[in-house]
Amino acid sequence: MNPATKDAAARAFRLVHHAMAAAGIAVMLAATMERMQRDYARGLEIAFLAVAAFFAIEFILRLIAAPEAPGGAHRGAGQARLAWLGSLPGAFDFFAALPGAFYLIGSHDAQLFSFIWVFKYIRYSPGLVSLGRVITHARHALSSVLLGFMIVLLAAASLAYLFERNVPHTDPQAFKSIPEALWWAIVTLTTTGYGDVVPVTPQGRMLAGVVMMSGILVFALWAGILAGGYAEETRRREFLRTWDLVAKVPFFHDLGASVIAEVARLLRARDYPAGAAIVRRGEPGDCMFFLVEGEVEVRLDPQSLRFGAGYFFGELALLTGAPRNATVVAIRPCSMLALDIVDFFELLGRQPELAQAIHEEAGNRLGPDAPVHPALKAMLARHKRTPKTVS
């Protein structure tokens, strides 16, 4: 039941879960159509009750499993369940179990509340979860813009009432009070422009133009805040994934966080279609690769090996300067991150101690007689000749 679980049982549960949510929403929509109710009333009722029963059972199972969820181990079973009930996912699951209960006690309009089932998809949507974090982090800026929106809205309604209250309109009640004028202010400030209520005085029309421009400005600010926050959240998530890939490389994982972060910033994205040769045997090794998505086949003698996301290759070529010893082909479309040899040695040039540490790690893996890339050898020699200063 954990969205991050990838075994077969979890995938089967998610498939049934998503199908049930879609079926429940379809039944709710069909129940509002007179012809469907007349011809298929009994079938719609059975389908509704089946979906409602599924989500009621799911709610009970999640309540029972709450102590096993991340963060529940340090609480008692009762406290973990109460904490889950008080959380947003727990609240959605609780309300998703209510339509069936309301139907059984005689409220046949309970089917209309089945729209809550659409929120069941949020748990399985990483993009919406990221958007929630963006809104949480940018809440102060968004609240400030919202306050500005309310100020402009109230000011616009008050001035419209002042300018238009004594002028006849198509709708006699259009501007007879500030609450009545608020409808015009909302429609104008959001640039919707229904045209059902319009000012007729010159000053009222000038006010309408200012309100329209203010609405564009307010929504541009909101869009800019959300777009910037979402871009930052995406960059942070991609950086963490890249960090994890780099940290798996034996040459890097013991060199400290600052080095891993520097290497992660040097990586460049590359995409390969299915069947493309990423590297060929005998070619000079000018970069190493990290496989982000897709599947590759490493063609060796006497057999070939296949690897998925998280695999890396080509790191030895950066250290030894030797040609590629295998051909790597994309079996499926692949997204790769490449560390170019020029960027790699530029990093070593800025941090000579890093060159020495990588050379020692290479010696541990390949043996003391392993070949060394000429550029790395020159860096090591220059580092040994440079006198150390004592502070």
- Whole-angstrom Cα distance, residue 287 to residue 342? 8
Task: Using the 3D structure, point to which of 163, 198, 233 is the last residue of a domain.
Answer: 233
Does residue 390 form part of some domain?
no
User: Any residues with CB less than 8 A from the CB of 84 and at least 6 apart, and which?
Assistant: 62, 63, 66, 69, 72, 90
Q: Are residues 334 and 298 in the same domain?
A: yes
Does residue 246 form part of some domain?
no
Contact in structure between 69 and 84 (CB atoms under 8 Å): yes
Does residue 242 form part of some domain?
no
User: How far, in whole angstroms, is CA 72 from its chain's centroid?
Assistant: 24
The residues facing 339 across adjacent strands are 288
Q: How many domains does the chain have?
A: 3
Q: Are residues 309 and 337 in the same domain?
A: yes
Please give the pLDDT value at position 5.
82
Q: Are residues 264 and 344 in the same domain?
A: yes
Q: Are residues 119 and 30 in the same domain?
A: yes
Does residue 196 form part of some domain?
yes
Q: Evaluate the CA torsion angle 173, 175, 176, 178 in order and state its sign.
A: positive
Comparing CA positions, the residue from 84, 80, 68 lying closest to residue 1 is 68
Residue 302 burial class via C-beta count within 10 angstroms: exposed 0-12, middle 13-18, buried 19 and up: exposed
Q: Are residues 261 and 380 in the same domain?
A: yes
Structure-derived torsion over alpha carbons of residues 143, 147, 153, 159, reported in degrees to the nearest 10: -170
Q: Are residues 116 and 147 in the same domain?
A: no
Helix (H, G, I), strand (E, B) or coil at 207: helix
Q: Are residues 184 and 80 in the same domain?
A: no
Q: In what order do the strands lie in the sheet with 296-299?
A: 277-279, 327-330, 296-299, 304-307
Contact in structure between 296 and 332 (CB atoms under 8 Å): no
pTM for the full model?
0.63
Please give the pLDDT value at position 382.
64
Please give the pLDDT value at position 391.
42
CATH number at residue 316: 2.60.120.10
- Whole-angstrom Cα distance, residue 35 to residue 55? 28
- Whole-angstrom Cα distance, residue 41 to residue 36? 7
Q: Give phi and psi for 323, each to the nearest 5.
A: -70, 165
Q: Are residues 273 and 363 in the same domain?
A: yes
Q: Are residues 117 and 143 in the same domain?
A: no
Does residue 247 form part of some domain?
no
Question: How do strand 304-307 and strand 277-279 relate by DSSP bridges?
Answer: unpaired
Q: Are residues 262 and 376 in the same domain?
A: yes
**DSSP result, 128-192:** HHHHHHHHHHTHHHHHHHHHHHHHHHHHHHHHHHHHHTTS--SSTTTTSSHHHHHHHHHHHHTT-
User: Any residues with CB less than 8 A from the CB of 241 and at least 6 apart, and which?
Assistant: 292
Please give the pLDDT value at position 390.
42
Helix (H, G, I), strand (E, B) or coil at 304: strand
Task: Using the 3D structure, point to which of 124, 158, 177 is the last residue of a domain.
Answer: 124
CATH number at residue 72: 1.20.120
Does residue 182 form part of some domain?
yes
Q: Evaluate the CA torsion angle 348, 351, 354, 355 in order and state its sign.
A: positive
pLDDT tens digit at each of 391 positions of the chain: 888 787 888 999 999 999 999 999 999 899 888 888 888 888 988 999 999 999 999 999 999 888 887 665 667 778 888 888 888 888 889 999 888 888 888 776 777 888 889 988 888 887 777 788 888 888 899 999 999 999 999 999 999 999 998 888 888 888 889 999 999 999 999 888 888 888 999 999 999 999 999 999 999 999 999 999 888 888 887 777 777 777 777 667 666 677 777 778 888 888 899 999 998 888 887 888 888 888 999 988 778 888 888 888 887 777 777 788 888 999 999 988 888 888 877 877 776 666 666 666 666 655 666 666 676 666 666 655 555 444 4
Alpha-helix runs per DSSP H in the chain: 8-31, 34-65, 77-86, 88-96, 98-104, 126-137, 139-164, 178-189, 202-247, 257-266, 315-320, 341-350, 352-366, 374-385
Alpha-carbon distances of 386 from 23, 379, 382, 383, rounded to whole Å: 73, 11, 6, 5
Does residue 3 form part of some domain?
no
Task: Using the 3D structure, point to which of 60, 92, 124 is the last residue of a domain.
Answer: 124
Longest dimension (CA), the chain: 97
Does residue 243 form part of some domain?
no
CATH number at residue 165: 1.10.287.70
Q: Are residues 14 and 118 in the same domain?
A: yes
Range of 69's domain? Answer: 8-124
Instruction: Compute and round to an integer the Cα radius of gyration of the chain.
Output: 32
Q: Are residues 208 and 264 in the same domain?
A: no
